[in-house]
């Protein structure tokens, strides 16, 4: 079926935009300042889907979260920042379970109905006593202030809170999907259905979606959004994306209308993913890289991410240098075969290489294409029908400074 509302309505709300969700955020002293503990509650039982890092070094919360995701229903998410609870052994696993128990007592549900996440320093024991002291007194809220404070509570090196929501009419009912994300460095997500500075993404909807279908839709949306964002190419130990669907709107997502819901989900995920790239550590530019003419989506994805992760490309953009040769060689080393005579490159709306032949262009005007905060790069590698879009940021002097001093 064709979407009834191809342009979803955007809102300034985030994680509580959908019906029957509320959240709480507070300072537990896990970070040097600011809120660092977050709780989300669905006031009615929800179905959950999730994807996790495929890094072989995984945080204790990822392991427990994946276990609890198998439960038929979910009622809450508890998350802390300032400590990743990773490489902390059996003590870390026990404390991740205890975080679920604390949230379950607060919400009035089973511990298995709580999903848990952590982000921050790796290898430091989690001071659970600080979390336990705060959870009972946390106050449930919803609305703009609640969404802002929730997004702040999961930040580490992020400069800005990142949240977004949108609504669409599906079968005559308003469906809302909102969420928030954190991530500024150690961003090169590679998330899959099973677990094998971190990016955490939490999504909520008031549509009713069967669990298997919800998982399928989330995996597709994540591939085209969060898995297509990179800051430095480093996949974190705690990368997690969770989606809750509680059915409070009365809309039911089926095979007949799933494309409308998928479009709404993609809109929100893409908006959040771009916010991650725009807030990359030390970033002065958000860079969008579009690959066209690939023989397969996988090929297009490989080329897009190889170019997006190239330090030479990222530093050239920072310096305002229209050195398109760096783009060409980055595309050429992606492991995707193509003919040089099919390669075309554009900076913004200015073509600089056409079918393997350099275009005579004004370098000053080309440099102007790199001045706006948002920079657009288009690369055509052949005559195939597949495309991919990736987002990254430039490398500035501040990226080195931030990461050199991260632990201290």
Q: Which CB contacts under 8 angstroms, 24+ apart, belong to 209-214? A: 209/47, 209/245, 209/247, 209/252, 209/253, 209/261, 210/47, 210/253, 211/47, 211/48, 211/49, 211/72, 213/253, 213/255, 213/258, 214/47, 214/48, 214/49, 214/243, 214/245
Gyration radius (Cα) of the chain, Å: 21
Catalytic choice (53, 88, 119, 198): 198
Task: Give the bridge partners for 26, in sequence order.
Answer: 37
The question of whether 198 is a catalytic residue gets the answer yes
DSSP-based three-state secondary structure for 130? helix
First-to-last C-alpha distance (Å) of the chain: 54
Closest to 93 (Cα-Cα) out of 69, 58, 49: 58
102 vs 134, 150, 241, CA distance in Å? 10, 18, 22
- 276 sits in the region (left: phi over 0; alpha: psi -120 to 50; else beta) called alpha
- Secondary structure (3-state) at 232: coil
Please state, in angstroms and rounded to a whole number, the distance separating the CA atoms of residues 143 and 16.
6
| Share of the chain residues as helix, strand and coil, in percent rounded to the nearest 5 | 35, 30, 40
Strand partners, 164: 179
> Taking Cα atoms as reference points, which of 280, 238, 202, 240 lies closest to residue 121?
238
Element (H, E) at 88: none
Strand-pair category, 357-358 with 350-354? antiparallel
Total Cβ atoms within 10 A of residue 18 = 28
Largest separation between any pair of C-alpha atoms in the chain: 68
Q: 192 Cβ partners below 8 Å, 6+ apart?
A: 51, 52, 54, 219
Residues tagged active-site: 198
């Amino acid at each position: 079926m064709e979407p009834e509302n191809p342009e979803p309505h955007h809102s300034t709300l985030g994680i509580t935009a959908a019906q029957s969700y509320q959240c709480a955020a507070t300072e537990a002293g896990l970070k040097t300042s600011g809120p660092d503990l977050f709780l989300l509650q669905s006031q009615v039982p929800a179905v959950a889907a999730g994807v996790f890092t495929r890094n072989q070094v995984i945080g204790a919360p990822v392991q427990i979260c994946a276990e609890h995701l198998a439960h038929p229903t979910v009622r809450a998410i508890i998350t802390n920042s300032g400590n990743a609870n990773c490489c902390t052994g059996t003590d870390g696993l026990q404390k991740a379970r205890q975080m679920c128990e604390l949230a379950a007592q607060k919400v009035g549900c089973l511990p298995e109905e709580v999903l848990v996440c952590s982000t921050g320093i790796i290898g430091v024991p989690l001071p659970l006593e600080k979390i336990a002291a705060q959870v009972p007194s946390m106050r449930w809220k919803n609305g703009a202030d609640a969404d802002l404070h929730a997004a702040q509570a999961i930040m580490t090196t992020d400069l800005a809170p990142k949240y977004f929501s949108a609504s669409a009419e599906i079968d005559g009912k308003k469906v809302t999907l909102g969420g928030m994300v954190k991530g500024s460095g150690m961003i090169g997500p590679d998330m899959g259905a099973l677990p094998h500075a971190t990016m955490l993404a939490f999504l909520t909807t008031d549509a009713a979606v069967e669990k298997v279908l919800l998982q399928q839709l989330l995996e597709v949306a994540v591939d085209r959004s969060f898995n297509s964002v990179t800051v430095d190419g480093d996949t974190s130990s705690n990368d997690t994306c969770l989606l809750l669907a509680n059915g409070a709107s009365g809309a039911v997502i089926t095979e007949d209308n799933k494309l409308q819901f998928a479009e709404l989900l993609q809109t929100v995920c893409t908006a959040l993913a771009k916010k991650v790239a725009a807030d990359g550590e030390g970033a002065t530019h958000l860079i969008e890289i579009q690959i066209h003419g690939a023989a397969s989506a996988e090929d297009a994805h490989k080329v897009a991410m190889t170019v997006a992760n190239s330090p030479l490309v990222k530093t050239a953009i920072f310096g305002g240098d229209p050195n398109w040769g760096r783009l060409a060689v980055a595309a050429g080393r992606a492991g995707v075969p193509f003919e040089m005579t099919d390669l075309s490159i554009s900076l913004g709306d200015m073509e600089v290489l056409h079918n393997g032949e350099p275009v005579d262009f004004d370098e000053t005007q080309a440099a102007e294409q790199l001045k706006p905060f948002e920079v657009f790069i288009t690369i055509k590698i052949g005559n195939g029908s597949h495309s991919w879009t990736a987002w990254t940021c430039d490398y500035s002097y501040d990226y080195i400074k931030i990461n050199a001093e991260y632990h201290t």
